[in-house]
Amino acid sequence: MLTKLTGGRVYDPAHGINGEIRDIYIRDGRIIAAPGDASPDHEFDLRGKVVMAGAIDMHTHIGGGKVTIARNLLPEDHRGDQAAREGLMRGGCGHAAPSTLTTGYRYAEMGYTTGFEPAVLPVNARQAHHEMADVPLLDVGGYAMLGSDDYFLRLLSSGKSQEEINNYVAWTIHSAQCIGIKVVNPGGISAFKFNQRSLDLDEQHVYYGVTPRKVLQTLARAVHELGVPHPLHVHGSNLGVPGNVETTLNTMAGIEGLPLHLTHIQFHSYGTEGDRKFSSGAARIAEAFNRTKNITMDVGQVLFGQTVTASGDSQRQHANASHANPNKWVCMDIECDAGCGVVPFKYRDKNFVNALQWAIGLEIFLLADDPWRIFLTTDHPNGAPFTSYPHLIKLLTNKSFRNDMLATINPDAAALSTLGSLTREYSLYEIAIMTRAGAAKLLGLKDRGHLGEGAGADITVYTEQEDKEAMFARPDYVFKDGELVVKNGEVVKVVWGNVHTVKPEFDRAAAEKDLKSYFERYLTMKMDNFIIRDQEIENDGRSKIIVHPCGGKA
Amino acid sequence: MVETNTRVLENVPSPFCGIASDDLTIQVSGNTLKVLENGDSITVAGFEQPLTDTQPRVAGKDVTLQEAVSAVAGLLKAARLPVFSGFGTDVNDTRAALSLADRSGAVLDQARSEGGLRNLLVLADSGWFATTLGELKNRVEVLVVFGSDIESDFPRFYERFIWPQETLFGQDAGKREIIYIGRAPSGEASTAPDGRKPVVLPCALEDLPAVAAAFNALTHGARLQATHVGGIAVADLAAVLERVKQAHYSVFTWAAGHLAYAHADLTVQQLSAAVVALNAGGLTRSAILPLGGQDGDRTASQVFAWQSGYPTRISYARGYPEYDPYHFSVARLLQSGEADVLIWISTLNARLAPPATHIPTVVIGRSGMRFEREPDVYIPVSTPGIDHAGHMYRCDNVVCLPLHKLRDSNLPTGSAVLAAIEKALEE
């Protein structure tokens, strides 16, 4: 079947197309070149509309056990946002930790077609895939967490070679069916299990004797040498600690030029100036970012209201649990592999710290020069639910609106922020980079995030409006792999997405020689039962695994 | 069965034991299974249950699968408040049941939710600090068992997690200390390899709430005027507290099903609060480990929660999921006469049969089930982990084991039957 999208204003930064009027052709779920004389079976008249690839959220907690812990922790949050069965959509709930089905519908309704779970504990990866498989309309993928797992720390502390570590990292990516590697509070989750309550970048882990800096360097090198497109995804040390801007700058500088992705950078950009010993480090972060080309980052923007923070960082989450609102939280130690902490938060615009967090995120967005290296996230649900993205886009594209909002927040925070002096307004082209082309490039998704020939036909069509929040909240059309799934903001067809992975080359026999015995002696399941086989994901006929290429050894 | 058809399979995961042991050796001869190694009373019964019923029945008479599916669809179409329970099954069957329940406007309640809610209510009210079996195996120095007899429900718990040959951090597992508060162990599994018996501080079931409250108070630094609580010397409770404070890592465990008294969730809350206080003090690390996971209870709770937002006792009657731990108890709805069709799903445990009711009852269940009252419709289906591949969450809610297909029974899967019923409703 041939479908023609006629005459839309196309924003396709991967091909340098900035608002040009173009026709797009779709056949068998893919974008194709103009087919000559063939007449389309379906045609959509998009004259006057804005056309972009489907949006990609490269950091969103949509799977893995911690989200379901958050669901169980906050029944009152669901009662406040019931999602009734309607048309093709099954019942569920929304807001801070939506049900999986509702997550898929709401992402699609906003024109998103792909999302990546950034904290897949390898031992919990089946759950992450189970939950992501139940997110309709969205392609998914995950980053496997390493860096506080006993096996890795043991390899590192016993002086094993980088090659042996690379083998283990590759084995983990394969076994967890992931597309990248994440490190959370390097070594810190493990340290907490030994009752070490903090672990700075150059501090030694009380048991293994290694430092977070060493963990970061080794994992970043492994990911790089394995040719995994997405650089090591780093949730750094000292999350949320006033003064952590120094740790973050040290992390950037100390990675020896290796590619590194710093996630939810807003939570790592705090100074200690002022009466309250809490200030913005955004300018210093942005300055370092602009000159350090090996660094990419996503923001983790805070927006006001009720949410829940769900993180692998049990050490920092436990330290922050006294701020829980409502006052309840869950932490877990998990299988000598990782941990998690789930702490609800209510960010208030009149609260000094919260208001400054809001301003710091926006400052970083506006001071970062290169939209190809910075990504629009709220670290859903940690900074805010993903449903607030249209509001965030309005803040970034409209300085007048932004300044109106700035006038309403805690005045002390506003006074300490440089936000009011920043006049930058993101263009539609730059928004398309941050939410589509840049994200696909960062992850090595060859067939997503662009509208060129051969791309999967994930396409979003908007009516351009002055109010960008309204525009991005309700696309006219969303196509998923060429099928029309959303029309005028409403789901008209439910399809199931793909699972994006990489499978770097490695020496399986060498990796498993010691791992098999390790599993037998110390863990609670057999190595063969730990590994997630392709058929476990694909057998029910909904999800298909897409393997993206890895480069060779650098 | 001829000898050539006999196979021996190793590293088979068990969907029956709650702790998801995956080291079983099983002999398969045609449709007959025999656990050769690492079985226990629960897994042997689970795997060796013979395959008997292979034909669906309506009103006790053999029918085709299509006829049975149509009969169920007819019952659901006529129902005003259908209720789904049992849910002793795997991830995919649970997914299919949720979809059908959503379409039918039904109430969902896992069969073992009464016990599970004693934990879930605490989670939703105040949260906790928990751990998993792997951390327990490698890290625990002192294990406090509260009000429960672990080995009766989890025969291999001590062998696999408390007395391993080796641990990761140089600890001699044989030196671990076990303290029972409330109930003495029924067997010898908790006896250390060197013959040390666990410390037991016995009390009556009805005194457990007071004992938990006293322990939590001590943990928070309170001084109690009473010298005894529930017959236990306060000095002995204080000694337990001192011992866990001295330990690098302690774990408090219980099987909520054993805390069978009113408002047991408040007892669980006291213990959880005590563990939070132990960690907050900064001197030690401690965690809770609620045990369960039998008959698919954790699997159902997980799938319910990620698909609907709520772990159990969910109603779709108003078009969206609602959660009410009291009103949406299926046992209560059957007793009050509000429910008018019961759909019972039990693909793992042939003994997990539905309660005898006066309303139409459908059983989508394991072959070989026996009923107090013949259900209106019985559809024998395949068992995950035996007849088809599947997935099972174990008691710590983190690790999910793959279940493997061991034989060809030619029975339909529960998910296929449930999907066929949903399709029939659309016709």
Contact A330 B389 (CB under 8 A): no
Domain that holds residue B136: 116-294
B260 is a domain residue: yes
Specify whether B85 is located in the same domain as B220.
no
Token pair of B191, please? Answer: 């006896």
Specify whether B317 is located in the same domain as B406.
yes
Measure in Å the smallest separation between the Cα of B363 and chain A Cα atoms.
24
What is the CATH classification number for the domain harbouring B127? 3.40.228.10
Average pLDDT over residues A405-433: 97
Average pLDDT over residues B306-315: 98
Task: From chain A, pick out residues whose CB is under 8 angstroms from the CB of B11.
Answer: 526, 528-529
pLDDT tens digit string along A9-57?
999 999 999 999 999 999 999 999 999 989 999 999 999 999 999 999 9
pLDDT tens digit string along A85-141?
999 999 999 999 999 999 999 999 999 999 999 999 999 999 999 999 999 999 999
Specify whether B203 is located in the same domain as B319.
no
- Name the residue facing A91 among B11, B132, B320 (closest C-beta): B320
Q: How far is residue B336 CA from its own chain's centroid? A: 26
Specify whether B208 is located in the same domain as B151.
yes
DSSP string, B319-369: SS-EE-TTTT-HHHHHHHT---EEEEEESS-TT-PPPP-SS-EEEEEETT-
Residue B65 pLDDT > 60: yes
Specify whether B103 is located in the same domain as B129.
no
Average pLDDT over residues A60-75: 96
Residue A292 gets which letter from DSSP?
-
Residue A166 pLDDT > 90: yes
Domain map (residue ranges) of chain A:
53-491
B366 is a domain residue: yes
The residue behind tokens 């629960």 is: B42
Average pLDDT over residues B182-198: 97
Q: Are B146 and B253 in contact (CB under 8 A)?
A: yes
Average pLDDT over residues B344-353: 96
* Position B5 confidence tier, pLDDT thresholds 50, 70, 90: confident
Measure in Å the smallest separation between the Cα of A339 and chain B Cα atoms.
9
Specify whether B285 is located in the same domain as B170.
yes
B5 is a domain residue: no
Alpha-carbon Rg for chain B, nearest whole angstrom, is 23
Is the interface score ipTM higher than 0.90?
yes
pLDDT of B4 = 58
User: What CATH code is assigned to A53-491?
Assistant: 3.20.20.140
Average pLDDT over residues A547-552: 89
CA distance A147 to A208: 12
Q: What percent of chain A lies above the pLDDT cut of 70?
A: 99
Q: Name the residue type at position A377.
A: T
Closest chain A residue to B125, measured at CA: A328
Specify whether B349 is located in the same domain as B408.
yes
Q: Does B323 touch chain A (CB under 8 A)?
A: yes
In chain B the first and final C-alpha atoms are separated, in Å, by 43
Task: From chain A, pick out residues whose CB is under 8 angstroms from the CB of B168.
Answer: 150, 336, 522
Residue B344 pLDDT > 60: yes
B176 is a domain residue: yes
Q: How many domains does chain B have?
A: 2
pLDDT tens digit string along A444-455?
999 999 999 999
Contact A71 B279 (CB under 8 A): no
Specify whether B178 is located in the same domain as B276.
yes
Helix (H) or strand (E) segment spanning residue A329: strand A329-334
Contact A525 B319 (CB under 8 A): no
CA distance B295 to A504: 39
Contact B168 A332 (CB under 8 A): no
Specify whether B95 is located in the same domain as B194.
no
**Mean pLDDT rounded to a whole number for chain B:** 96
DSSP string, A334-372: ETTTEEEEEEEEEE-TTSHHHHHHHHHHHHHHHH---TT
Measure in Å the smallest separation between the Cα of B338 and chain A Cα atoms.
22
Contact B320 A83 (CB under 8 A): yes
The residue behind tokens 């057998």 is: A539
Last residue of a domain, one of B294, B321, B349: B294
Task: From chain B, pick out residues whose CB is under 8 angstroms from the CB of A79.
Answer: 322-323
CA distance B48 to B286: 39
B187 is a domain residue: yes
pLDDT tens digit string along A324-362?
999 999 999 999 999 999 999 999 999 999 999 999 999
Task: From chain A, pick out residues whose CB is under 8 angstroms from the CB of B389.
Answer: 535-536, 539
* Position B1 confidence tier, pLDDT thresholds 50, 70, 90: very low
Q: Are B227 and B261 in contact (CB under 8 A)?
A: no
Contact B285 A72 (CB under 8 A): no
What is the CATH classification number for the domain harbouring B323? 3.40.50.740
Could you tell me the pTM of the whole model? Answer: 0.97
Q: Residues of B numbered 350-409 whose beta carbons fall under 8 angstroms of chain A's beta carbons: which are they?
A: 389, 391, 393, 397-402
Last residue of a domain, one of B294, B328, B348: B294
CA-to-CA separations, B197 to A167, A284, A447, B194, in angstroms, rounded: 45, 61, 63, 9
Longest dimension (CA), chain B: 73
Specify whether B289 is located in the same domain as B174.
yes
B120 is a domain residue: yes
Average pLDDT over residues A142-148: 98
pLDDT of B2 = 42
CA distance A15 to A113: 20
* Position A540 confidence tier, pLDDT thresholds 50, 70, 90: confident
Alpha-carbon Rg for chain A, nearest whole angstrom, is 22
Closest chain A residue to B393, measured at CA: A127
* Position B427 confidence tier, pLDDT thresholds 50, 70, 90: confident
- Name the residue facing B132 among A71, A99, A334 (closest C-beta): A334
pLDDT tens digit string along B115-127?
999 999 999 999 9
pLDDT tens digit string along A477-500?
999 999 999 999 999 999 999 999
Neighbours of B61 (CB within 10 A): 10
Residue B322 pLDDT > 80: yes
pLDDT tens digit string along A248-272?
999 999 898 999 999 999 999 999 9
**Mean pLDDT rounded to a whole number for chain A:** 97
Strands B361-366 and B341-346: parallel
